[in-house]
Amino acid sequence: MIQVQNLTKRYGPTIAVKDLSFTVATGEILGFLGPNGAGKTTTMKILTCYMSPTEGQVSLEGLDVIEHSLEVRRRIGYLPETAPLYHDMNVLEYLSFVAGIRGIPRREFGSRIDRMASVCGLGSVMRKDIGELSKGFKQRVGIAQAMIHDPDVLILDEPTSGLDPNQIVDIRNLIKDLGDEKTVILSTHILSEVQATCDRVLIINNGSLVADGTPAELTAKFAGDDQMRLVVSGSSPEPLKSALMAVSGVISLELTDGSEIRVNITVESGQDVRAPLFRAIADAGWTLLEMHRESTSLESVFRQLTKDTGDAGA
Amino acid sequence: MRNTWLLCQKELRSYFNSPVAYIVLTLFLLITGFFFTTTLFLIGQATMRQTFQLTPIVFLFFVPAITMRLIAEEKRSGSIELLFTWPTRDWEIVVGKFAAAWIFITMAIGLTLAFTYSVSGIGSLDAGETFGGYLGLILMGGAFAAIGTWTSSLTQNQIVSFVVSLTVIAALYLVENLLGLLPMSWAPILQFLSVTHHFNNLARGVIDSRDLIYFASLIILMLKLAHSSLESRRWK
């Protein structure tokens, strides 16, 4: 279990993280969401013992990150944002070096490295210099480096950045598999990634926690009004507007002119107005060409929570 | 200890994985070889003393060039973040990197044994003097490497590291020359600080514990400074 209590980090006069508290249970996959500069990376750097907190306590299984730094670092695998590797080594040399630093017995090097090569898809580049690899491969070497010692906790700062869509799916599946037995904390600003992989989401903005829960809980809790989009032909704007406004649950609507009229309708959340809308249009003898409902997504929750104060910290 | 050795090996490998090592070694041998041949024919004696006297000037540029990237490059590329989050102690990092630079310098010094060997064919070398000279060069190389490790820990810019270590080394090298400007009572202090003074003692073939202690304490002090510089990241 990871415990973060009243964590504050200041860089000179700038406050990167303020009074942040949360816990992560073993075996949980936690997604860390927030706009750029929200304090995600800073929090991760403190969790991994790279930096010290200005105030507050951070501990892993009851071990404080400052007092038991070495023990905490042994149990964590970390991938920093830019995957900073040694470019003058080849992949095999690099992974052997990390295996040594991680205290893996020499006789196990071969099996561990082979396993990482197959898990991360590195088989074809083992003898290539890291400096010559594409960004996606560097990222995968970074992930292999973080997992080679089979850590209890994996901390991944934007693990899928720079990967192509197929690799992103691979890495997400990998993270999900790992999440069965390990604690994983990952930061991202790709919201679909959180929905696809995480058990729980923390949204932070300007260094403070603004939301905490499962993706489903968050969308339910912060759900606003739903949006409907229609395309109608055979009518003119004025009668269409009055006919649709008469449907119960419709709050407001905007429409365009022309032979095909596009309508944006704001509907009270939770109301299903699809059938009444269809009937209102059909009864008047108009033709409904398209109808689409947009329910509240994590994306709109994220934007709602982080929009207003997005640049106040700068 | 195992981590120190792993880090040291890694640094040595990165010296030899790039052309820099070979260029630096070639330059070192060319310059010391030039000193060696010119002084040999000028003096006409079977001695390495003159070469030993001039080698420290080469070290002034050679050692900072070797040590400048040790920590600065890790800071620049960001790989230091991984290094610091692996279970390695800060002193293991400092000592491992310093040891790699020192081993590299010692290898360079070892290559000059070719000169010594060729002189020994002309006449009988003074064994004590030659041994003392080599010991002095190795210890001085170690002290300069420790200075370079420290200056490399201060910045992420290799050039800054090079210039600062060159300045510190030059100060220790030239401090004896201040004798003419200061009262005579300062002489023991200046002599104590001067790398040249302690090196010359050894190069005469007199192995005195005072000189050994000087170099050892200079190395320890500089590594201690490098260690504190790494630890400063943990400041709140």
* pLDDT tens-digit readout, A132-159: 998 888 988 999 999 999 999 999 998 8
Confidence grade of residue A310 (pLDDT, cut at 50, 70, 90): very low
Last residue of a domain, one of A201, A221, A241: A221
Q: What percent of chain A has pLDDT over 90?
A: 40
Identify the pLDDT of residue A314.
34
pLDDT in tens, B31-86: 999 988 888 888 777 788 888 888 888 999 999 999 999 999 999 999 999 999 99
Tokens linked to A87? 């470019």
Q: Could you identify the residue written with the tokens 């008047």?
A: A284
Measure the CA–CA gap between A14 and B98, rounded to whole angstroms. 36
Determine the distance in angstroms separating the CA of A58 from the nearest CA of chain B, rounded to an integer: 14
Identify the pLDDT of residue B236.
63
Q: Looking at the whole model, is its pTM more than 0.90?
A: no
Quick one: DSSP state of residue A16? E
Q: Which domain holds residue A65?
A: 2-221
Tokens linked to A185? 């904390």
ipTM beyond cut 0.90: no
Whether A195 and A258 map to the same domain: the answer is no
pLDDT in tens, B183-219: 888 888 888 889 999 999 998 888 999 999 999 999 9
Q: Tell me the CA distances in angstroms from B174 to A114, B56, B137, B191, B202, one per residue in order.
A: 55, 11, 17, 10, 18
pLDDT: which is higher, B172 or B176: B172
Whether A32 and A129 map to the same domain: the answer is yes
pLDDT: which is higher, B159 or A271: B159
Last residue of a domain, one of A221, A249, A266: A221
Touching check for A150 and chain B: CB below 8 Å?
no
Whether A235 and A285 map to the same domain: the answer is yes
What is the largest distance, in Å, between two alpha-carbon atoms of chain A?
Answer: 80
Measure the CA–CA gap between A49 and B88, rounded to whole angstroms. 12
Exposed, middle or buried by CB within 10 Å (0-12, 13-18, 19+), for A239? exposed
Identify the pLDDT of residue A246.
86
Flag whether pLDDT at A121 surpasses 80: yes
A100 and B6 in contact by Cβ < 8 A? yes
Provide the number of structural domains found in chain A: 2
Whether A146 and A253 map to the same domain: the answer is no
- Report the CATH number that the domain containing residue A268 is assigned in CATH: 3.30.70.3100
pLDDT in tens, A76-101: 999 998 889 999 899 999 999 999 99
Domains of chain B: which residue ranges?
2-231
Taking CA–CA distances from B232, the nearest residue in chain A reads A51
Torsion of CA B127, B128, B129, B133, to 10 degrees: 100
Whether A132 and A155 map to the same domain: the answer is yes
Confidence grade of residue A311 (pLDDT, cut at 50, 70, 90): very low
Q: What's chain B's average pLDDT?
A: 91
Identify the pLDDT of residue A312.
41
Interface probe with A: pick from B8, B82, B230, most Cβ of A within 10 Å: B82
A86 and B14 in contact by Cβ < 8 A? yes
Measure the CA–CA gap between B97 and B105, rounded to whole angstroms. 13
Identify the pLDDT of residue B176.
81
Flag whether pLDDT at A222 surpasses 90: no
Quick one: DSSP state of residue A202? E
Confidence grade of residue A313 (pLDDT, cut at 50, 70, 90): very low
Whether A167 and A203 map to the same domain: the answer is yes
Rg (CA), chain A: 25
Measure the CA–CA gap between A192 and A211, rounded to whole angstroms. 17
Whether A89 and A110 map to the same domain: the answer is yes
Confidence grade of residue A21 (pLDDT, cut at 50, 70, 90): very high
**Which secondary-structure segment (H or E) carries A229?**
strand A226-233
Determine the distance in angstroms separating the CA of B139 from the nearest CA of chain A, rounded to an integer: 29
Taking CA–CA distances from B73, the nearest residue in chain A reads A86
For residue B233, which residues of chain A lie inside 8 Å, CB to CB? Answer: 50-51
Which SS3 state, helix, strand or coil, does residue A71 take? helix
User: Residues near A121 by Cβ (< 8 Å), separated by ≥ 6?
Assistant: A140, A167, A170
Whether A255 and A188 map to the same domain: the answer is no
Measure the CA–CA gap between B133 and A45, rounded to whole angstroms. 48
Whether A174 and A279 map to the same domain: the answer is no
Measure the CA–CA gap between B14 and B10, rounded to whole angstroms. 6
pLDDT: which is higher, A9 or B185: A9
B/e letters for A254-267, b = 16+ CB within 10 Å, e = fewer, are ebeeeeebebebbb
Confidence grade of residue A180 (pLDDT, cut at 50, 70, 90): confident
pLDDT in tens, A30-79: 998 888 888 899 999 999 999 999 999 999 999 999 999 999 999 999 99
Whether A120 and A60 map to the same domain: the answer is yes
Could you tell me where the DSSP H helices lie in chain A? 40-47, 69-75, 91-101, 109-120, 135-147, 165-178, 191-197, 215-221, 237-245, 274-283, 298-306
Tokens linked to A63? 């071990």
Whether A98 and A135 map to the same domain: the answer is yes
Determine the distance in angstroms separating the CA of A128 from the nearest CA of chain B, rounded to an integer: 13
Q: What's chain A's average pLDDT?
A: 86
Determine the distance in angstroms separating the CA of B90 from the nearest CA of chain A, rounded to an integer: 11
pLDDT in tens, B87-145: 999 999 999 999 999 999 999 999 999 988 888 888 888 888 899 999 999 999 999 99
- Report the CATH number that the domain containing residue A213 is assigned in CATH: 3.40.50.300
In a domain, A82, yes or no: yes
pLDDT in tens, A233-289: 888 888 888 888 888 888 888 888 888 889 888 887 777 888 888 998 988 889 999
Measure the CA–CA gap between A294 and A224, rounded to whole angstroms. 11
Q: Judged by CB atoms within 8 Å, which residues 202-231 of B form the interface with A?
A: none
Last residue of a domain, one of A192, A221, A250: A221
Could you tell me where the DSSP H helices lie in B44-194? 49-67, 72-77, 79-85, 90-111, 113-120, 127-153, 158-174, 187-193
B81 and A103 in contact by Cβ < 8 A? no
Measure the CA–CA gap between A73 and A68, rounded to whole angstroms. 9
Whether A177 and A76 map to the same domain: the answer is yes
Measure the CA–CA gap between A202 and A22, rounded to whole angstroms. 9
